[in-house]
Amino acid sequence: MKYVLSLDQGTTSSRAILFDHDGQIAGTAAHEFPQIYPNSGWVEHDPFDILTSQLSSAIEVMGKARVRPRDVIALGITNQRETTIVWDRETGKPVYNAIVWQDSRTGAMMKRLADEGAEEIVRQKTGLLLSPYFSAGKVAWILENVEGVRARAEAGKLAFGTVDSWLVWNLTSGKRHVTDRTNASRTLLYNIVEDKWDDDLLKLFNVPKSLLPEVVWSNEKVGEVTTSLGLGEVEIAGIAGDQQSALFGQLCVSPGDAKNTYGTGCFLLQNIGGKFTLSSHRLITTLACSTDRKLAYALEGSIFIGGAVVQWLRDNMKFFRKSSEVEAVAATVPDSDGVVFVPAFTGLGAPYWDAEARGLIIGLQRGTQIAHIAKAAVESIAFQVADVLRVMDSDTKNPFTELRVDGGAAANDDLMQFQADLLGVPVRRPAVLETTALGAAYLAGLSSGFWSSIDELKLHRKADTLFEPKTDKKQMQKLQDNWREAVERSRHWNKESR
C-alpha cells in the first residue's frame, strides 16, 4: 500500500493524516499546543510548539498505521494562515513568538493607514482589507517592537514566513524558504493581480524584501524531508493555506462552487474563476489552489471565532471537559430561551470587519442555564455563516442552492440542521470531514503522480449527508433579527485599540 501524508497545522492543534489511494483516512494523530495571551486582544504561539506538535503527530501516525517512509509517496502541508513568524536564517531561532491570525494588536496601525487613504490601493493589489487579521501588520510590529530586529532584517539576516514557510524551512533543514500563492495572498504584501511581491506594499508597511520567501504553486514539488527527522526522504509536493486547501478538498474547482469550513474560525469560500473581482460588501478576494499554473480566485468571508467559542466554554467557563460534550449539553433545552451569544473575542471579521467589537451574551434571565448559553454559543456559529452567505449571494448575483460544509464542528448534527434552517437551503456534509487535510493530500498526490487527475479524485468520493431545511422561515427571521441587534450592541466596544 502507498499513501500520501498530510500535515494539517491548525490554530489549536497540529494533525497528521495518512490518506490511501481511495482518498480514505488510513491513520490520524493530533497534538494540541498552548495558546498565549500576553495582553487584551493579543494571541501568540511558540513557533517551536507549532513545529514539535506537528512533527510528533507525523511520526505518531506513521507508527500507529505501521507505515514506513518509503510507503509515503508525497507529503502535503496545509496551515493556519496569516500567522506570522520571523526567524534568524543562521540559527533558525524565532526572534519573537508567532503572532496568530486572531491577534488584533495592530488595529490602530490599520486604522491610521485607512484614514490616510491606503485601503483602496491595497484592495486593488491584494483583494484584502486593512485589517490586523493579515500578516503585514504583524511583521511590521515585530520589526518595530523587538529590540535589534529591524537592523538584523535590513542586513538580510532574518526570514519571514507564514506557518507553511516555517514548517518547510525546518523539514528541509533550512534549504528551502518558500510559501505557496494561497498563503502569500494572505500577507497584504503580495499582488494577486500581477502575481508578485509588491514593492509599493513593502514600502507601505516598511518591510525589507530580503525577509520574503520564494513563492511556489500549490501543487509544486519543493524538496525532500531531511532523514534526521524520522520521515525518511519524503517529497514535500503540495502546500496550501487551510481554507483554500479545504476548498480544493471539496473539489470546488469550478466557478460558483463554494464551501464553509467550521474550524477554530469559519471560512466561507466561493470559487470565482480566473478573473480578479472585488466584493462590494467587504468580503475579500484571495488566490485559490490552481493545478494548471494559472491564477484562480475565490471570494471569502472570514469569521474569527467559530468552533473556538466551544473551546472557550470548555477552557474558560469550565462548562464541560470535552468540546464534543457541547452537543449533548445544548440538546437538553429546546432553544436558547432568548439568549444570544456574539463571540467577538478578537473583534468581528466579515462582513463587519470591526476590530473594536468584543464578545457579548445578552438575554440572560433568572431561569437561564448553562445549556441555554451552550446552545446560543453553537447557534452563533450558524448566525455568522448566514451573515457572510447573505452578502456573498448579493455580490455574486448567483444565490447559493446548497452549502458544502467541513471541519470539526460540521460533525454536530444539530448545528448543521440549524444552519440549513437558517439559510433555507440544504447543507451537504461529505463522508470525509477532514477536507482541509484532504486538499493538501490531493495537491501533493497530483503533483507526484499518485492520482492522475481531478476527474479521478471525483470517482473516489463517498456519499454525502444532506440536511434539508425544516423550520418555519418566519421563526428563523425573528432569530436573525435578534442576532443582528446583538451584533450591533457588541460593536465599537474596545476603544483602547484606537
Residue 366, in any domain of the structure = yes
- Claim to verify: residue 198 and residue 269 sit in the same structural domain: no
Element holding 39 (H helix, E strand): none
Distance CA(498)–CA(494), nearest Å, equals 8
| Statement: residue 76 has pLDDT above 70 | yes
Residue where a domain stops, chosen among 184, 212, 242: 242
- Claim to verify: residue 495 and residue 359 sit in the same structural domain: yes
92 residue type, one letter: G
| Terminal-residue alpha carbon distance, the chain | 57
Confidence band for 498, pLDDT divided at 50, 70 and 90? low
| Statement: residue 346 has pLDDT above 90 | no
- Whether residue 13 is annotated as binding a ligand: the answer is yes
Residues shown for the chain: 498
Residue ranges in 158-270 assigned as alpha helix (H): 163-171, 181-184, 199-205, 242-249
The pLDDT value given to residue 258: 84
- Whether residue 82 is annotated as binding a ligand: the answer is yes
Confidence band for 140, pLDDT divided at 50, 70 and 90? very high
- Claim to verify: residue 196 and residue 317 sit in the same structural domain: no
| Statement: residue 497 has pLDDT above 70 | no
What integer best gives the mean pLDDT of the chain? 92
- Claim to verify: residue 195 and residue 101 sit in the same structural domain: yes
The pLDDT value given to residue 397: 75
Q: What average pLDDT does the segment 383-394 reach?
A: 91
- Claim to verify: residue 287 and residue 236 sit in the same structural domain: no
- Whether residue 424 is annotated as binding a ligand: the answer is no
- Claim to verify: residue 73 and residue 101 sit in the same structural domain: yes
Distance CA(352)–CA(121), nearest Å, equals 20
Residue where a domain stops, chosen among 206, 221, 242: 242
The pLDDT value given to residue 256: 82
| Statement: residue 324 has pLDDT above 70 | yes
**pTM for the structure as a whole:** 0.85
Tell me the per-residue pLDDT of 168-225, one tens digit each, with 9 for 90 and over. 999 999 999 999 999 999 999 999 999 999 999 999 999 999 999 999 999 999 999 9
| Statement: residue 423 has pLDDT above 60 | yes
Stronger pLDDT, 495 or 104, i.e. the higher one: 104
- Claim to verify: residue 123 and residue 183 sit in the same structural domain: yes
Distance CA(315)–CA(422), nearest Å, equals 28
Taking alpha carbons only, the member of 235, 270, 185, 296 closest to residue 446 is: 235
- Whether residue 81 is annotated as binding a ligand: the answer is yes
- Whether residue 133 is annotated as binding a ligand: the answer is yes
Confidence band for 349, pLDDT divided at 50, 70 and 90? confident
Residue 437, in any domain of the structure = no
- Whether residue 78 is annotated as binding a ligand: the answer is no
Distance CA(42)–CA(47), nearest Å, equals 16
- Claim to verify: residue 356 and residue 483 sit in the same structural domain: yes
- Whether residue 250 is annotated as binding a ligand: the answer is no
Relative to beta strand 258-262, strand 266-273 is: antiparallel
Confidence band for 102, pLDDT divided at 50, 70 and 90? confident
Residue 149, in any domain of the structure = yes
Query: 292-298, long-range: CB within 8 Å, 24+ apart, which pairs?
Result: 293/217, 295/181, 295/192, 295/195, 296/271, 297/127, 297/192, 297/271, 297/272, 297/273, 298/244, 298/247, 298/269, 298/270, 298/271, 298/272
Q: Could you give the C-alpha distances from 143 to 110, 178, 438, in angstroms and in order?
A: 16, 20, 36
The pLDDT value given to residue 496: 67
Distance CA(192)–CA(479), nearest Å, equals 39
Which domain does 303 fall in, by range? Answer: 251-429+468-498
- Whether residue 307 is annotated as binding a ligand: the answer is yes
Residue 442, in any domain of the structure = no
- Claim to verify: residue 227 and residue 359 sit in the same structural domain: no
Q: What average pLDDT does the segment 360-386 reach?
A: 96
Distance CA(367)–CA(379), nearest Å, equals 19
> For cell 431561569, what's the residue?
367
Q: How many domains does the chain have?
A: 2
Tell me the per-residue pLDDT of 446-478, one tens digit each, with 9 for 90 and over. 999 999 988 899 888 777 899 999 988 899 999
Residue 282, in any domain of the structure = yes
- Claim to verify: residue 272 and residue 237 sit in the same structural domain: no
The pLDDT value given to residue 226: 87
- Claim to verify: residue 238 and residue 258 sit in the same structural domain: no
Distance CA(80)–CA(86), nearest Å, equals 16
- Whether residue 106 is annotated as binding a ligand: the answer is no
Residue 45, in any domain of the structure = yes
CATH number at residue 225: 3.30.420.40
- Whether residue 242 is annotated as binding a ligand: the answer is yes
| Statement: residue 283 has pLDDT above 80 | yes
Tell me the per-residue pLDDT of 30-73, one tens digit each, with 9 for 90 and over. 999 999 999 988 999 999 999 999 999 999 999 999 988 889 99
Residue 267, in any domain of the structure = yes
- Claim to verify: residue 146 and residue 268 sit in the same structural domain: no
Residue where a domain stops, chosen among 242, 268, 287: 242
| Statement: residue 437 has pLDDT above 90 | yes
Burial of 93 (0-12, 13-18, 19+ CB in 10 A): exposed
User: Percent of the chain, pLDDT > 70?
Assistant: 99
